[in-house]
Chain A
Amino acid sequence: EVQLVQSAAVLKKPGESLKISCTVSGYRFANYWVGWVRQTPAKGLEWLAIIYPGDSDIKYHPSFQGRVTISADKSISTAYLEWSSLEASDTAMYYCARRGATNGVDRGGFDLWGPGTLVTVSS
Protein backbone atom coordinates (compact mmCIF):
# COMPACT_ATOMS: atom_id res chain seq x y z
CA GLU A 1 0.00 0.00 0.00
CA VAL A 2 1.25 3.45 -0.91
CA GLN A 3 1.25 5.61 2.20
CA LEU A 4 2.98 8.29 4.21
CA VAL A 5 3.22 7.72 7.97
CA GLN A 6 4.03 10.66 10.22
CA SER A 7 5.44 10.85 13.73
CA ALA A 8 3.11 11.35 16.67
CA ALA A 9 1.79 14.61 18.07
CA VAL A 10 4.17 16.48 20.31
CA LEU A 11 4.07 19.17 23.01
CA LYS A 12 7.18 21.30 23.30
CA LYS A 13 8.32 24.43 25.13
CA PRO A 14 9.57 27.57 23.38
CA GLY A 15 13.27 27.32 22.64
CA GLU A 16 13.30 23.53 22.42
CA SER A 17 14.37 21.63 19.33
CA LEU A 18 12.22 19.19 17.35
CA LYS A 19 12.49 16.84 14.41
CA ILE A 20 9.32 15.33 12.93
CA SER A 21 9.32 12.51 10.41
CA CYS A 22 7.43 11.18 7.42
CA THR A 23 8.11 7.58 6.41
CA VAL A 24 6.85 6.46 3.03
CA SER A 25 6.07 3.01 1.70
CA GLY A 26 4.73 1.49 -1.48
CA TYR A 27 6.74 3.55 -3.95
CA ARG A 28 10.34 4.48 -4.77
CA PHE A 29 11.10 7.27 -2.28
CA ALA A 30 14.01 8.69 -4.26
CA ASN A 31 11.92 9.42 -7.34
CA TYR A 32 9.32 11.83 -5.96
CA TRP A 33 9.48 15.26 -4.35
CA VAL A 34 8.23 15.31 -0.75
CA GLY A 35 7.05 18.55 0.79
CA TRP A 36 5.89 19.88 4.13
CA VAL A 37 2.71 21.93 4.52
CA ARG A 38 1.39 23.35 7.75
CA GLN A 39 -2.13 24.37 8.68
CA THR A 40 -3.42 26.77 11.28
CA PRO A 41 -6.86 28.30 11.75
CA ALA A 42 -5.40 31.78 11.38
CA LYS A 43 -3.26 31.32 8.28
CA GLY A 44 -4.72 28.28 6.56
CA LEU A 45 -2.44 26.08 4.47
CA GLU A 46 1.20 27.19 4.16
CA TRP A 47 3.90 25.44 2.19
CA LEU A 48 7.25 25.35 4.00
CA ALA A 49 9.74 23.33 1.99
CA ILE A 50 10.22 20.47 -0.47
CA ILE A 51 12.99 17.96 -1.12
CA TYR A 52 13.85 15.56 -3.93
CA PRO A 53 15.39 12.61 -2.09
CA GLY A 54 17.12 11.34 -5.23
CA ASP A 55 19.62 14.19 -5.28
CA SER A 56 18.66 16.16 -2.14
CA ASP A 57 17.55 19.15 -4.19
CA ILE A 58 15.73 21.46 -1.76
CA LYS A 59 13.49 24.47 -2.04
CA TYR A 60 12.33 26.57 0.92
CA HIS A 61 9.62 29.14 1.40
CA PRO A 62 11.70 32.30 1.99
CA SER A 63 9.69 33.07 5.11
CA PHE A 64 10.69 29.76 6.69
CA GLN A 65 14.24 29.37 5.40
CA GLY A 66 16.59 29.49 8.36
CA ARG A 67 13.79 28.55 10.74
CA VAL A 68 13.23 25.01 9.57
CA THR A 69 15.44 22.39 7.93
CA ILE A 70 14.15 19.73 5.57
CA SER A 71 16.12 16.55 5.02
CA ALA A 72 15.69 12.97 3.83
CA ASP A 73 17.25 9.58 4.50
CA LYS A 74 16.89 7.38 1.44
CA SER A 75 18.04 4.28 3.32
CA ILE A 76 14.85 4.34 5.42
CA SER A 77 12.55 6.21 3.00
CA THR A 78 11.99 9.00 5.50
CA ALA A 79 11.75 12.75 5.20
CA TYR A 80 12.20 15.11 8.13
CA LEU A 81 11.39 18.64 9.19
CA GLU A 82 13.48 20.09 11.97
CA TRP A 83 13.56 23.15 14.23
CA SER A 84 16.49 24.19 16.41
CA SER A 85 14.48 26.61 18.51
CA LEU A 86 10.70 26.45 18.52
CA GLU A 87 8.41 29.42 18.95
CA ALA A 88 4.77 29.53 19.96
CA SER A 89 3.95 30.59 16.41
CA ASP A 90 5.16 27.17 15.18
CA THR A 91 2.06 25.60 16.74
CA ALA A 92 0.26 23.93 13.83
CA MET A 93 -0.69 20.71 12.14
CA TYR A 94 2.18 19.67 9.87
CA TYR A 95 1.54 17.48 6.83
CA CYS A 96 4.04 15.79 4.58
CA ALA A 97 2.91 15.24 1.02
CA ARG A 98 4.22 13.64 -2.15
CA ARG A 99 4.33 15.65 -5.35
CA GLY A 100 2.77 13.49 -8.03
CA ALA A 101 4.53 12.32 -11.13
CA THR A 102 3.73 9.97 -13.98
CA ASN A 103 6.59 8.15 -15.68
CA GLY A 104 8.96 10.67 -14.18
CA VAL A 105 6.97 13.64 -15.44
CA ASP A 106 5.94 16.07 -12.72
CA ARG A 107 2.19 16.51 -12.26
CA GLY A 108 2.53 19.36 -9.80
CA GLY A 109 -0.14 18.44 -7.33
CA PHE A 110 0.45 16.80 -3.96
CA ASP A 111 -1.22 13.47 -4.64
CA LEU A 112 -0.46 11.66 -1.39
CA TRP A 113 -0.61 13.14 2.09
CA GLY A 114 0.34 11.94 5.52
CA PRO A 115 -2.25 12.13 8.32
CA GLY A 116 -0.47 15.07 9.95
CA THR A 117 1.63 15.72 13.04
CA LEU A 118 0.21 18.17 15.55
CA VAL A 119 2.97 20.33 17.00
CA THR A 120 2.06 22.39 20.05
CA VAL A 121 4.55 24.88 21.44
CA SER A 122 3.58 26.25 24.83
CA SER A 123 5.29 27.20 28.05
Chain B
Amino acid sequence: DIVLTQSPDSLGVSLGERATIKCKSSQSLLYNANTKNYLAWYQQKPGQPPKLLFYWASTRESGVPDRFSASGSGTDFTLTITNLQAEDVAVYYCKQYYDVPITFGPGTTVDI
Protein backbone atom coordinates (compact mmCIF):
# COMPACT_ATOMS: atom_id res chain seq x y z
CA ASP B 1 0.00 0.00 0.00
CA ILE B 2 1.09 3.59 -0.63
CA VAL B 3 1.63 5.32 2.71
CA LEU B 4 1.02 9.04 3.10
CA THR B 5 2.49 11.00 5.98
CA GLN B 6 1.47 14.53 6.87
CA SER B 7 3.24 17.22 8.83
CA PRO B 8 2.68 18.76 11.20
CA ASP B 9 0.05 16.79 13.10
CA SER B 10 -1.52 20.05 14.15
CA LEU B 11 -0.82 23.76 13.94
CA GLY B 12 -2.19 26.90 15.42
CA VAL B 13 -2.36 29.91 13.15
CA SER B 14 -3.48 33.45 13.82
CA LEU B 15 -6.35 34.89 11.82
CA GLY B 16 -5.05 36.38 8.61
CA GLU B 17 -1.83 34.38 8.72
CA ARG B 18 -0.59 31.48 6.59
CA ALA B 19 -0.89 27.75 7.26
CA THR B 20 1.29 25.26 5.41
CA ILE B 21 0.65 21.51 5.44
CA LYS B 22 2.96 18.90 3.96
CA CYS B 23 2.08 15.49 2.57
CA LYS B 24 4.74 12.95 1.68
CA SER B 25 4.10 9.75 -0.24
CA SER B 26 6.00 6.47 0.09
CA GLN B 27 6.21 6.32 -3.70
CA SER B 28 5.79 8.69 -6.60
CA LEU B 29 2.23 9.67 -7.44
CA LEU B 30 3.24 11.05 -10.85
CA TYR B 31 1.91 9.02 -13.75
CA ASN B 32 4.33 9.77 -16.56
CA ALA B 33 1.90 8.90 -19.36
CA ASN B 34 -0.30 11.91 -18.60
CA THR B 35 2.05 13.92 -16.29
CA LYS B 36 -0.63 14.01 -13.60
CA ASN B 37 -0.06 13.59 -9.90
CA TYR B 38 -2.75 11.39 -8.40
CA LEU B 39 -3.20 13.31 -5.16
CA ALA B 40 -6.19 15.10 -3.66
CA TRP B 41 -6.71 17.31 -0.62
CA TYR B 42 -9.77 17.35 1.62
CA GLN B 43 -11.05 19.53 4.43
CA GLN B 44 -13.19 18.07 7.20
CA LYS B 45 -15.04 20.07 9.81
CA PRO B 46 -16.53 18.48 12.95
CA GLY B 47 -19.69 16.52 12.28
CA GLN B 48 -19.34 16.82 8.51
CA PRO B 49 -18.02 14.56 5.76
CA PRO B 50 -14.77 15.54 4.06
CA LYS B 51 -14.94 18.20 1.38
CA LEU B 52 -12.79 18.05 -1.76
CA LEU B 53 -10.42 21.00 -2.10
CA PHE B 54 -7.96 19.93 -4.82
CA TYR B 55 -7.42 17.04 -7.22
CA TRP B 56 -4.52 16.25 -9.58
CA ALA B 57 -2.42 17.76 -6.77
CA SER B 58 -3.13 21.40 -7.66
CA THR B 59 -6.47 21.74 -9.48
CA ARG B 60 -8.83 23.67 -7.26
CA GLU B 61 -12.35 22.25 -6.94
CA SER B 62 -15.13 24.62 -7.95
CA GLY B 63 -16.18 26.92 -5.13
CA VAL B 64 -13.00 26.60 -3.09
CA PRO B 65 -11.70 30.05 -2.11
CA ASP B 66 -8.48 31.12 -3.79
CA ARG B 67 -6.77 31.62 -0.43
CA PHE B 68 -6.30 27.85 -0.65
CA SER B 69 -3.51 26.67 -2.93
CA ALA B 70 -1.79 23.35 -3.50
CA SER B 71 1.42 22.28 -5.17
CA GLY B 72 3.93 19.50 -5.45
CA SER B 73 4.88 16.55 -7.59
CA GLY B 74 6.18 13.04 -7.24
CA THR B 75 6.33 12.32 -3.54
CA ASP B 76 6.12 15.75 -1.92
CA PHE B 77 3.05 17.93 -1.80
CA THR B 78 1.93 21.09 -0.01
CA LEU B 79 -1.39 22.67 0.90
CA THR B 80 -1.26 26.34 1.79
CA ILE B 81 -3.94 28.50 3.32
CA THR B 82 -3.17 32.20 3.17
CA ASN B 83 -5.11 34.85 5.10
CA LEU B 84 -6.56 32.18 7.40
CA GLN B 85 -10.20 32.69 8.29
CA ALA B 86 -12.12 31.32 11.28
CA GLU B 87 -14.09 29.01 8.99
CA ASP B 88 -10.86 27.30 7.89
CA VAL B 89 -10.53 25.58 11.27
CA ALA B 90 -10.69 21.91 10.29
CA VAL B 91 -8.71 18.75 9.73
CA TYR B 92 -6.99 18.52 6.35
CA TYR B 93 -6.25 15.23 4.64
CA CYS B 94 -4.27 14.27 1.58
CA LYS B 95 -5.33 11.22 -0.41
CA GLN B 96 -3.62 9.26 -3.17
CA TYR B 97 -5.53 7.60 -5.97
CA TYR B 98 -2.50 6.48 -7.99
CA ASP B 99 -3.03 2.89 -6.98
CA VAL B 100 -5.47 0.61 -5.24
CA PRO B 101 -5.99 0.66 -2.34
CA ILE B 102 -6.74 4.36 -2.26
CA THR B 103 -5.14 5.70 0.92
CA PHE B 104 -5.46 8.82 3.04
CA GLY B 105 -2.95 10.66 5.15
CA PRO B 106 -3.50 10.80 8.92
CA GLY B 107 -4.70 14.39 8.83
CA THR B 108 -3.47 17.76 10.04
CA THR B 109 -5.56 19.80 12.45
CA VAL B 110 -5.59 23.54 11.85
CA ASP B 111 -6.91 25.77 14.59
CA ILE B 112 -6.67 29.38 15.62
B38 nearest CB neighbor, chain A only:
A108
Report yes or no: A114 in contact with B104, Cβ–Cβ below 8 A: no
- A51 CB to nearest chain B CB (Å): 13
B101 nearest CB neighbor, chain A only:
A61
Q: Is A59 an interface residue (CB 8 A)?
A: yes
Contact residues on B (Cβ < 8 Å of other chain), bracket:
20 to 34
How many angstroms between the C-alpha atoms of A61 and B99 in the bound complex? Answer: 10
Name the segment of B19-27, B53-61, B71-79, B80-88 touching the other chain: B53-61
Sample of 22 A–B contacts (CB below 8 Å): A35-B102, A37-B50, A45-B95, A45-B104, A46-B104, A47-B103, A47-B104, A50-B102, A59-B100, A62-B101, A63-B101, A95-B49, A107-B56, A107-B59, A108-B38, A108-B56, A108-B97, A109-B61, A110-B42, A113-B49, A114-B49, A116-B49
